[in-house]
Amino acid sequence: MATTTAPGPVRPAGRPAENGAPKQPKRRGPRRSYLPYLLLVPAIVLELGIHVIPMLVGVWMSLLELTQFHIRDWSTAPFAGLENYRVTFDFSSATGKDLLHSFWVTVLYTVASVGLSWVFGMAAAVFLQRPFRGRALLRTLFLTPYALPVYTAVITWTFMFQRDTGLVNQVIEQFGLVSGDRPFWLIGDNSFVALLVVSLWRSWPFAFLCLMAGMQNIPGELYEAAAIDGAGFWRRLRDVTMPMLRPVNQVLLLVLFLWTFNDFNTPYVLFGGSAPKQADLISIHIYESSFVTWNFGLGSAMSVALLLFLLVVTTVYLLVTNRRREHA
Amino acid sequence: MRETSGERWARRIVLSLLTLFTITPLYVMLSSALKPLRDVQGPFTWLPSRPTIQPFLDMWRTVPLGRYLVNSLMVASIAALISVSIAIFAAFAISRYRFRGRQLFSVTVLSTQMFPGILFLLPLFLIYVNLGNATGIELYATRLGLIITYLTFSLPFSIWMLVGYFDSIPRGLDEAAQVDGAGPMRTLFQVILPTAVPGIVAVTVYAFMTAWGEVLFASVMTDENSRTLAVGLQGYATQYNVYWNQAMAASVVVSIPVVIGFLALQRYFVAGLTAGAVK
């Protein structure tokens, strides 16, 4: 994270110009100045007020018996110690069982969505590397789902998944893929598939955007050299493209993982608030545990547990990938 | 390096499938927005029985869409402008100065991106409610509260992208300005900002999109008066009837500004992402 070479804005026809050399500290030595701190004050105040302090308050809340009786004036909420955490991790009780189920649904959802998004994005980026007629149009089209406000996209999918008036069942029937009754997509076992499709539609364009940006920085000479050595399509992909994309992939997969794991918007809009058990993602689960039953203490404990899990996964991931990068 | 015929066919097939997947919902949204109500109440049809712009006229009355639109426009544009202004100063400091705590600040700000939104939602909800009770500053269920919340959401990524842009501006320009006797602030305003305009515009659009599309906080932190499109658009499903054609028409209208803004500036997003991803 220390140094960076930043390309300038990309010119339409060319690759980004490499002109930002790694940063050198000023030769005169940094002046001991209060100016940078002054420049950062507004950002720091906001980060503290909206991110850091609420997070600490969240940890405090998770130690309180903060039920509907104490919401109005939470200074009266009794101290509960680790009781909320005991309930959260008691996997033999109904609450713990449901939370664990929700956790595994989210893991499956994240692995499937991130994996497929990466494959789709990679396929599109590789096949759009060569110039051909209509390339710019396709690139724009592929980025459109990412630009749409999430709720408009998901409302449209909700309409498409309607049992009686939706496009999906209409197409299935026309191709004779279903015998008997039309399937339900937004309740029951199919709801997980529906959720995954919508998530994939939303997030593969982002993978495409990042991978495309990464590929623009691969010098053409590398491909020329590989071609002279007789490397075919797969060899070029494996020995030139993939190694050059390693830094992009490291960040992209992490960001996709965190976004998908914390995804609230997609299920919330798709299922209209209460998700079916088969598609009960953890964000929705915690939201309902908090606002439907007004048990904020328990909801906060679950949130903190989720945060710790994400911190551990992220730390391990960064350690492993950084070590791989050093050996590469 | 010529493309083999096998590669060409693979390319055509893969890109066709991806195009089909991408375009279907967009087509459904556009075509259904032009359908009379009875078309969307029966089995799905690919074309309207008779195209009509009636849904675009009716959608304002079914739900108070005008109010939601004004709320969203106000919240998203004010949040974006303030967020980018703050990000410019922070990015300038990080890009051009070495100071104690620089790494700590960068890491902390970026790591807030990974926290689940639900973790902030409950405490912020309680803080806003209690602050209102204690001081009379109403942040809960007001546009002001949403603005403050959203501008912080887009701040980390905006700072990160702008640092990338500023780093790509040669330091020789700064030094030339300093030789002419310009102080740091004049250097920022007269040298760096004019050079980074495309990047700044792209980041502004990103911040606008963040606020324009946020659902979770909008659903908890608003009431009938401060409700934004993100929540309001779900109002076309009433107890008696779902006005799918109007929901689609409203979706089209809501999508157009951000889609155009994003697509017009996609090149600068790519540049910004590349700048950041190398870190």
CATH no. for residue A134? 1.10.3720.10
Neighbours of B200 (CB within 10 A): 23
Instruction: Read off the pLDDT of residues B96-139 as tens digits, 9 standing for 90 and up.
Output: 988 888 888 888 877 877 788 888 888 898 889 888 888 888 88
Query: Minimal Cα distance from A304: which residue of B?
Result: B119
Kind plus residue range of the DSSP H or E element containing B8: helix B5-32
Nearest CB to A1 within list B106, B212, B220: B106
State mean pLDDT over B221-225: 90
Three-state DSSP state, B177: helix
Nearest to A194 by CA among A183, A185, A181: A185
Amino acid at A91: F
Please give the residue of chain A at the shortest CA–CA distance from B47.
Answer: A167
Whether residue A104 lies inside any domain: the answer is yes
Contact B25 A160 (CB under 8 A): yes
Q: What is the DSSP letter of B242?
A: B
Share of chain B above pLDDT 90, in %: 51
B26: pLDDT strictly greater than 90 = yes
> For position A23, what pLDDT does the model report?
47
Reading the block at residue B33, the tokens are: 């927005």
Residue B81 token pair: 């402008």
Q: Is residue A48 part of a domain?
A: no
- Residue A72 is given by DSSP the state T
Can you tell me which residue has the tokens 């502004």? B204
Q: What is the pLDDT of residue B1?
A: 61
The pLDDT of residue B198 is 86
Q: Write down the residue that tokens 């996609």 correspond to.
A: B266
Å from B67 to nearest chain A CA? 18
Looking at residue A26, what is its pLDDT?
Answer: 45
The full DSSP string for B208-230 is HHHHHH--HHHHHS--TTT--HH
What is the distance in angstroms between the Cα of B185 and the nearest Cα belonging to chain A? Answer: 10
Question: What is the extent of the structural domain holding A220?
Answer: 94-292+305-327
- What pLDDT, on a 0 to 100 scale, did the predictor assign at position A188? 86
Is residue A100 included in any domain, yes or no? yes
Beta-carbon contacts of residue A220 (< 8 Å; ≥ 6 apart): none
- Asked whether the predicted pLDDT for residue B277 surpasses 60, the reply is no
Contact criterion met (CB < 8 Å) for A20 and B167: yes
Contacts 24+ apart (CB under 8 A), A36-42: A36/B93, A36/B94, A36/B97, A36/B99, A36/B102, A37/B93, A37/B99, A39/B89, A39/B90, A39/B92, A39/B93, A40/B89, A40/B90, A40/B93, A40/B105, A42/B86, A42/B89, A42/B90
Q: Which of B45, B131, B167, B208 to mutate to test the interface with A (most CBs of A within 10 A)?
A: B167
Question: Minimal Cα distance from A11: which residue of B?
Answer: B267
The 10 Å CB-count burial string (b at 16+, else e) for B229-243 is: bbbbbbbbeeeeebb
Tell me whether residue A76 is in a domain: no
Kindly state whether residue A69 falls inside one of the protein's structural domains. no
Domain presence at residue A178: yes
List Cβ neighbours of B5 (8 Å cut-off, separation of 6 or more): none
Report how far Cα A211 is from the mean position of its chain's Cα atoms.
15
Place of tokens 């309207």: B48
Interface contact flag, B98 A26, Cβ < 8 Å: yes
Q: Is residue A288 part of a domain?
A: yes
d(CA B255, CA B250) in angstroms, rounded, equals: 8
Model confidence, pTM: 0.88
Nearest CA in chain A to B162: A6
Q: Which of B114, B155, B184 sits opposite A310 (nearest CB)?
A: B114
CA of B167 vs chain A CAs: smallest distance (Å): 6
A8·B168 Cβ contact <8 A: yes
What's the total number of domains in chain A? 1
The neighbour count for residue B131, using CB atoms within 10 Å, is 15
Q: What are phi and psi of B237, to 5 degrees?
A: -95, 100
Show the low-confidence residues of chain A (pLDDT under 50): 1-30
Whether residue A300 lies inside any domain: the answer is no
Q: How far is A287 from chain B (nearest CA, A)?
A: 7
Predicted confidence band of residue B161 (pLDDT cuts 50, 70, 90): confident
Contact B109 A43 (CB under 8 A): yes
Single-letter residue type at A217: N
- Tell me chain B's radius of gyration from C-alpha atoms: 23
A97-101, B195-199, B270-274 — most confident range: A97-101
Place of tokens 């713990």: A96
pLDDT surpasses 70 at B278: no
Q: What's the mean pLDDT when you consider all of chain B? A: 89
CA-to-CA dists, residue A63 to A100, A298, A305, B164, angstroms: 21, 9, 12, 41
d(CA B112, CA B131): 23
pLDDT value at B11 more than 70? yes
| Cβ A74 vs Cβ B126: under 8 Å | yes
